[in-house]
Chains A and B, each alone.
Chain A
Amino acid sequence: MITLTNLQKTFPARGSGVPVQALADIDLTIGRGEIFGIIGRSGAGKSTLLRTINLLEKPTTGSVTVDGVEMTGLSAAELRQARHSIGMIFQHFNLLSSRTVFDNVALPLELAGVPKAEIRTAVEPLLDLVGLSDKRDRYPAELSGGQKQRVGIARALASKPKVLLSDEATSALDPETTTQILHLLADINRRLGLTIVLITHEIGVIKEICHKVAVMEGGRVIEQGPVFGIFAHPAHPTTRSFVDPVINRGMPDSLKERLSPAPQPGTNPVLRITFTGEKATSPVISAISRDLGLDLNIWHGQVDEIQGAPFGTLVVEALGDEAKVASAVEFLKSNHLGVEVLGHVPANH
């Protein structure tokens, strides 16, 4: 649906400053109907990246293709036409204070020259969809933050777009409202098959509704893939720093201190077992102790849910000889569980 190829964006120097490279070597492919999250800290370039998709930000080099249309090659008039099929919502909602809820949602249709009667029949169901039918004649100043963002969403959907760009849409909202808005977005994604690209600095947003995620740092995408995979196996330290607070992959510090990297006489290996998907529910621990005669001392464990699928980690000390441990590792791997040896601890501590 959206393909960004070799995208670069450099802002020219201002005054005596140096040019700022906001985006470097960006290659992203976003599939139809996906909710694609882009996460990064402020200044990582995610906002600039999002704005290149509808060309609010013109890339210095590289190409942007949305639904088969090469955006960078369009004339000004063609670009305006193409933007009708790309909705956008904003952190600060950007509603017109001078217009009622109804008239705000009607704006994109007015801009496209849709006749008044048609506008009415198009706007009412949208207000229904976002649950604001009773507020149609209110002004934005009379609404709460969550309600304003609902208006923003209805407005973005008015021109029946194929893509919805979300610029930190929940960052100005409280946690409860954030959840409601995210559920609304997920619902719209399912019902309308809308492709959603969202940027955020909150990993919770990614965890809650995204199918795929790209992690940005210093204008580059440092890691991308399905959300489940990134959460289960974050490769880059930055990604880990995002994921760790919500998915506790770590272990108690007291244990960490005693770990030594190499096996020594009188030490037991410490394993981290990662349970993903339906495997998270199969009783492998009891199978290991029963069938392999290897006792496992559980140090630390956590079960979480990502995208509705369970995800768990378990840190265990294996109380047995090397051969038994090796066969236990084999057994776990054959059950498609992740296993890694974290280190070794002295036995009988």
Chain B
Amino acid sequence: MSPQIIDLLIKGLIDTLHMVAVSGAIGTLIGLPLGVLLAVTGRGELLQNLTFNRIIGAVVNMTRSTPFIILVVAIIPFTRLVAGTSIGTSAAIVPLTVAAAPFIARVVENAIREVDRGLIEAAQAMGATPFQIVRKVLLPEAMPAIAMGLTLSAVSLIGYSAMVGAVGGGGLGDLGIRYGYQRFLPEVMLAVVVVLIVLVQLVQSTGDWIARRVNKRNLKV
């Protein structure tokens, strides 16, 4: 492989990491509270509010049922509004975030619903406010599941980030399509795939390790 291609690979990797990290971070900032709200406003939950729950749920489902590649194109006006452009890595972060936030929201919602109801009852019996229950009980107890869910989200985002090449997003996926496929350079395609596999492995292993660290449920007696 020419040094030029290696440079491109490195740049592609950096772009991918940039897109995944920023959209993952903003997606978590939006998705985490959204997921908590979805979980606690459900039927029979701490702050039951079915109207709110259904509206948020519908919005989340709408985004999640739109194929990502269509979402990218469909929200171009919004992307332009936020990023000032619809082309490039920064622009690609907008649709990635829009896809990540509802995904993370569902992941967090499920993680929180898994928390034993007895713990909520115990906290209520202690005179905890709903906010205290979320902060001191639900989030810490759901943390292993949330860590696993965020890892899953990060891996999905790496996959999605390959698609934003279609709108000039850059990154490894873009490199693979333009050089590997369109210019018939199979070694570039192979290199891209290998780098992506290694990246996903690293993300998954790190996520697993963190989830194990925060999980105090299976300690040896």
Contacts and interface: CB of A to CB of B under 8 A. Distances in A.
A87 B116 CA distance: 19
A288 to B, nearest CB: 56
A159 B126 contact: yes
Given A111-B123, A141-B216, 10 more contacts: A80-B127, A80-B128, A81-B127, A94-B116, A94-B118, A94-B119, A96-B119, A97-B216, A141-B217, A143-B221
Contacts of A160: none
Interface in A10-49: none
Interface size bracket, B side: 20 to 34
Residue in A86, A96, A98, A99 whose Cβ sees the most chain B Cβ within 10 Å: A98
Contacts, number: 75
B2 interface: no
Interface in A163-187: 165
6 contacts: A56-B121, A90-B118, A108-B126, A111-B128, A141-B217, A142-B220
A84 B122 contact: no
Interface stretch (B56-64, B132-140, B201-209): B132-140
Given A54-B125, A97-B216, A107 B141 contact: no
A112 interface: yes
B205 to A, nearest CB: 22
Nearest to B140: A98
Contact of B125 (A81, A83, A139): A83
B219 interface: yes
Contacts of B182: none
Contacts of B217: 97, 141
A201 B187 CA distance: 72
Contacts of A128: none
Contacts of A297: none
A108 B143 CA distance: 21
A88 B216 contact: no
Contacts of B66: none
A142 to B, nearest CB: 5
B39 to A, nearest CB: 17
A45 B110 CA distance: 31
Residue in A88, A159, A165 whose Cβ sees the most chain B Cβ within 10 Å: A88
Contact of A111 (B119, B132, B141, B218): B132
A141 B122 contact: no
A99 B220 CA distance: 16
Contacts of B122: 88, 90, 94
Contacts of B85: none
B161 to A, nearest CB: 32
Interface string A138-171: 0111111000000000000001000001000000
